[in-house]
Amino acid sequence: MNFRRIELIFLVTFIAIDIFLFGMFEQNTNQQADNMSDGDSDSQVVKEMRDDQIEVSHLSEKKNFAYYLSGTQNDILRQQMGQLANQTPHYVSHELESEFKEPVTVNKTTPQKSINQMLNDPTFVLNGGQYSYSKNLSTSRNLVYSQKAMGSSIYSSEAQISFTLNANHQIVSYTQSYLQDVKSLREKSETISETRALIWLYQYNEIPNNTKIAWTKLGYTKLLSIDNDRVFIPTWIIGIKPQDSPEIQLKKINAFTGGIIKETTGNLKDSQDLSDLTN
């Protein structure tokens, strides 16, 4: 990876984005200040959320530290897939798709525990020790593992393993993507708290009434791509479940600046079995 080139492009892009976002935040803060008395606080805003029938559990005021990260999407999986056993792997567009010749039986109630024990077996999955189970992205038939980086997880389809289970609680196939040479681009910096992320999301009118904050998670999402190089930023990922919908809506907030990341918002099916998959 040409880090001098990626850092230069990244810094120029970052500065432009931050200037734009700072202007948005300043404008939003001024608008909020006009509408809120001097005695208002975070707890008062959370109370307003609950008054709007937004179900919110205990929120943390703790601030964390995170990095800007870079990684490379290359063909390392294709080079290594010959060591896989009991599988028929195919490599397409930086993604490994593999079917097991004989389905792999896992624990019925906590299938992730069985998979965790097999992750370090290079004949089962490649570089498995670099992934961890993502409960909030998984369902009873699809278990998602996200690639780890700097003490957190990368929430991206470019750094993920997705295992497919059949009705007999057996793994029949999986897809895998992998980022190589993941490293920080600059020193760690302080992030906003979980409470602040929710409050800004609410004040941006991004949380409808009659909804539930299903979960929140601090991880990394993609900021930009340069050829095969990727740059990631720390992001508060928030799952919102409307009372009248079976889907969980994903909202994402830049954990450094508080800006909403609209282009990566998506949906997840919320099956009854989702709550049964515990760590």
Q: pLDDT for 70-123, tens place per residue?
A: 999 999 999 999 999 999 999 998 999 999 999 999 999 999 999 999 999 999
Structure tokens that stand for 198 in this block: 């929710």
Tell me what pLDDT residue 5 has.
Answer: 61
pLDDT at residue 21, rounded to an integer: 54
Higher pLDDT, 183 or 275: 183
> Predicted confidence band at 273 (pLDDT cuts at 50, 70, 90)?
very low
Q: Which residues pair with 175 in a beta bridge?
A: 97, 162
**Residue type for 98, please?**
S
- At 181, the amino acid letter reads D
Confidence of residue 11 (pLDDT cuts 50, 70, 90): low
Longest CA–CA separation in the chain, Å: 66
Tell me the per-residue pLDDT of 177-232, one tens digit each, with 9 for 90 and over: 999 999 998 889 999 999 999 999 999 999 999 999 999 999 999 998 888 899 99
pLDDT of the residue at 46: 86
CB atoms closer than 10 angstroms to residue 2: 11
How confident is residue 149, by pLDDT bands cut at 50, 70 and 90? very high
Nearest Cα neighbor of 164 from 172, 154, 176 is 172
Task: Count Cα neighbours of 216 within 13 Å in the Cβ-side half-sphere.
Answer: 20
Summarised one tens digit per residue, pLDDT across range 17-61 is 554 554 555 455 454 544 444 335 788 888 899 999 999 988 898
pLDDT in tens, 227-270: 889 999 999 999 999 888 878 899 999 999 999 987 543 444 43
Q: At what angle do helices 194-203 and 3-35 cross, to 10 degrees?
A: 60
- Where is 90: in which H helix or E strand? strand 87-92
Q: Is 126's pLDDT higher than 60?
A: yes
Q: List all residues 6 or more positions away from 165 whose beta carbon is below 8 Å from its beta carbon.
A: 106, 111, 140, 141, 142, 143, 171, 172
Q: State the pLDDT at residue 245.
A: 80
Cβ proximity of 170 and 105 under 8 Å: yes
Is residue 252 within 8 A of residue 260, CB to CB? The reply is yes
Q: 73: which 2 tokens? A: 């999407």
Residues 6+ apart with CB under 8 A from 155: 134, 137, 146, 217, 219, 220, 221, 235, 237
pLDDT at 271: 35
- SS percent in the chain: helix, strand, coil, step 5: 30, 35, 35
**Can you give the pLDDT at residue 12?**
58
For residues 30-66, b (16+ Cβ closer than 10 Å) or e, as one string? eeeeeeeeeeeeeeebbeebeeeebebeebeeeebeb
